[in-house]
Amino acid sequence: MSKHEHDPDARTLFRKAAAGAKPIVQDRAHPHRSRPKPVPAQRLRDDREVIESLLSDAYEPSDVESGEELLFARSGLQHGVLRKLRRGHYAVEAHLDLHGQTVAQAREQVSRFLREARSMGKRCVRIVHGKGKSSTGKLPVLKGKVNSWLRQRDEVLAFSSCPPTDGGTGAVYVLLRRRD
């Protein structure tokens, strides 16, 4: 107990000071705002990574030859955008070289590379997959896999083999969606 609780002079002084005060009457109801449910952002990112890591090797659009040009565009993409991509008119903001990688290593690197490029806001990247000249049977294994993997990625708007100055049919330009 403090000394002012039993001091009659303190009570008298307080009552004199508060004599003209009127209680505040609140007759309005406070608007009830329901909070939105929390978004499990980390779980969504984890789920997305799991889906990305499960890119299917079973989906093969067709066997790809060493000198064959790769070309893909999502429906709705303007023809002019694809034409500029094929001609190398977009600035390449990052590149990944898969020479000497196994299929498993390449899949992981492509997945990580695209995720990081998109998170940094990059729009056009280049992936060098090689022409398969040093692989068994002289067939381009990674070229076919990259062709397949990129088609399965939602963030890939289009891709095209590069002009000879940037790797020719041994590399692709990839156009990525803008970040959400």
pTM (global) more than 0.75: no
CA–CA gap between residue 133 and residue 9 (Å, rounded): 102
Q: Kindly give the residue spans of alpha helices, DSSP state H, lying in 8-119.
A: 8-17, 41-53, 79-87, 103-119
CA atoms within 13 A on the CB side of 55: 24
Q: Which CATH class is domain 70-176?
A: alpha beta
25-78 confidence digits (pLDDT tens)? 777 777 777 777 887 888 777 777 666 655 555 545 446 655 678 899 999 999
Q: Amino acid letter at 121?
A: G
Per-residue pLDDT tens over the stretch 91-134: 999 999 999 888 899 999 999 999 999 999 999 999 999 887 76
Which residues does 61 contact at the CB level (< 8 Å), separation at least 6? Answer: 147, 148, 151
| Pick from 167, 91, 155: nearest CA to 130 | 167
> Any idea what the Cα angle at residue 95 is, between residues 91 and 97, rounded to 5°?
150
Q: Residue 145: in which H helix or E strand, if any?
A: helix 141-152
Domain edges within the chain: 70-176
